[in-house]
Amino acid sequence: MKFFVDTADVAEIKDLAASGLLDGVTTNPSLIMKSGRPMLEVIKEVCAIVPGPVSAETVSTDHKKMLEEGRKLAKIAKNVAVKVPLTPDGLKTCKVLVSEGTMVNVTLCFSAAQALLAAKAGATFVSPFVGRLDDIGQDGMYLIAEIMTIFRQYPEYKTQVLVASVRHGQHVLQAAKLGAHVSTMPPSVLRGLFKHVLTDNGLKAFLDDWAKTGQSIL
């Protein structure tokens, strides 16, 4: 499974990228707002840090303007993946951009039928939002299972399932078990995957014993 981080915080991205764990980055208008920086500047900087796909989202809702925005975003760097909403105009835009060689991430997917439409439109990624489904009492991971079952029946579809709105490590693990291609998560969730009380306790015991030897490796 590929790990993307869902943030526009460049400092966080640099730090996580240094670990070798990042395969890409996703952003959205809300994350750009939170960063307090110009969108194009942020995307350009992130693309230089992470060689994998960096999702940058359009904000228009009609096909013509969305396409113009998508083309402008695509010019920032070769690894930009233009994000478009899962709407008729979004899929029209997706089809054109993909035909021009641009990666496209179709976002705000909440049903298997929508994911199928995105695949037929040639999307590079489709982003089902599991956490938001959980919030309204539905099972977000069941949607991932449905989509993966459908996609496996049609190998001609090259669209990757990008699990989004990830809230905790169990979402990541469940998505991996289901064979989802990508999980995008906040930095806190990615860092949380490191944590286990037995790791912490074991490391402390080893260091305490080493200190008692009075030795030094250096």
Kindly list the catalytic residues.
Answer: 83
Amino acid identity for residue 43 in this structure: I
Q: Which residue has the tokens 């840090």?
A: 49
Q: Please, is 84 exposed, middle or buried when counting C-beta atoms within 10 Å of its C-beta (0-12, 13-18, 19+)? A: buried
In single-letter form, the type of residue at position 128 comes to P
Q: Which residue has the tokens 């929508």?
A: 114
The answer to whether the beta carbons of residues 25 and 50 sit under 8 Å apart is yes
Q: Enumerate helices (H) and strands (E) in the chain, giving the number of each.
A: 11, 8
Cα–Cα distance for residue pair 63/65, rounded to 1 Å:
6
